[in-house]
Amino acid sequence: MNSKIPKDLIERAYQGKSTKEDALLLLEVPPFELFKFADELRFLAVGDTVTYVVNRNINFTNRCVGTCGFCAFRTNNGKVLSIEEIMEKVREAEKANATEVCIQGGLLPDVGLDFYQGIVEAIKAEFPEMHIHSFSPMEVYHAAHISGIPISEALRRLKRSGLDTMPGTAAEILSDRVREIICPLKIKTGEWIEVVRQAHAAGIPTTATMMYGHVETPEERIDHMLIIRDIQKETGGITEFVPLPFMPYNNSVGEKMIKEGKYATPGLEDLKIYAISRVLFHGHVDNIQASWVKLGKKFAQFALHCGVNDLGGTLMEESISKSAGASHGEMITAEELEWMIHGAGRVPKERTTLYRGTNGLASGNSLRMSGCGVYE
């Protein structure tokens, strides 16, 4: 490679040993050179297959006691879906051939773990094969606190009830400096890490996300990714990494940004994030996902040449990004996702939540986890 990227940096990336300094240097190289490098690492990790999952999002309430400044979804008096209302949505998902339901909601002031267990148990009773990918680390932390039980016990109960995996949302930026500004009442960095580690110990894999483009620095973004990588080295329980650009509309953090002349991240910056994440996670987390809801379909397609190998789900509904100004839709068909993937010169493949039936297991660490032998 005739490259402005130093050879020793390239070698460390191939070995899965990229450093913070490497990532900062890569931000300064010509963008399309970075994208080419990330694309080569993507091919080494997963080949030319691009995956997606047929799923349904279910947001069971927008009522929330939280005060997150980036959220346009919460309200003080929103509706809470009953378990039967949730089940109606699950039935619709099953009829649409969904293999996964992703259920999340606001933090309710007086609802403990029993409610969450009830949701999971109702789904498994009627649809035992449906994969339940639900409840953020913040929701689990909050429900455990309301119920007066340790996090580890809450996770064990959810696992016994039938929870399969958890979305690694509520991560935002894993920096207490940032969290104090944008979500001061949310769990701190160390608490988020502990919930995720405990989930993996209980045999519950998670994804990992990063919401970027607000008050964080480039260094804090990289630190966030390295924290995720360290968790993966320890537990092997992370299935995918999902960078999520902040939507600065209809929320207080975004309003302040716009008054200061700052807006949503430029597209080139988004693509650099995907490329850098591919470099930092090489050999550790194989799957880098682009959100077509956040980026738009055409830009998500272009991200497939910048290190991305997964386009997420069909969703059927999506309320949180929409409330913050996303305008790219709430549903996409499997046929359209495959059309997008073919158009990018890649091979589409429907996957399960755990990336089975595609390129083997989801991570370079083969999802080795302490606790339950859930992958055997």
* Separation of alpha carbons 134 and 119, rounded Å: 10
Spatial distance between the Cα atoms of 202 and 217, rounded to a whole number of angstroms: 34
pLDDT score at 62: 86
Q: What sign does the dihedral 305-306-312-316 (CA atoms) show?
A: negative
Q: Taking the domains of the chain in order of start, what are their residue ranges? A: 7-350
**Burial class of 357 by CB neighbour count within 10 A (0 to 12, 13 to 18, 19+):** exposed
The CATH superfamily holding the domain 7-350 is: Aldolase class I (3.20.20.70)
pLDDT at position 348? 97
Binding residues for [4Fe-4S] cluster: 64, 68, 71
Give the β-pairing of 347-350 and 310-313: unpaired
Which pLDDT tens digits describe the chain residue by residue (376 residues)?
457 899 999 999 999 999 999 999 999 999 999 999 999 999 999 999 999 999 999 999 888 776 676 676 656 678 899 999 999 999 999 999 999 999 999 888 889 999 999 999 999 999 999 999 999 999 999 999 999 999 999 999 999 999 999 999 999 999 999 999 999 989 999 999 999 999 999 999 999 999 999 999 999 999 999 999 999 999 999 999 999 999 888 888 888 889 999 899 999 999 999 999 999 999 999 999 999 999 999 999 999 999 999 999 998 864 444 444 444 456 899 999 999 999 999 999 999 999 986 444 444 444 444 333 222 2
Annotation: binding site: 64, 68, 70-71, 136, 172, 291
Which residue positions form the known binding site for S-adenosyl-L-methionine? 70, 172
Q: Which residues are annotated as a binding site for (3R)-3-methyl-D-ornithine?
A: 136, 291
pLDDT at 64: 72
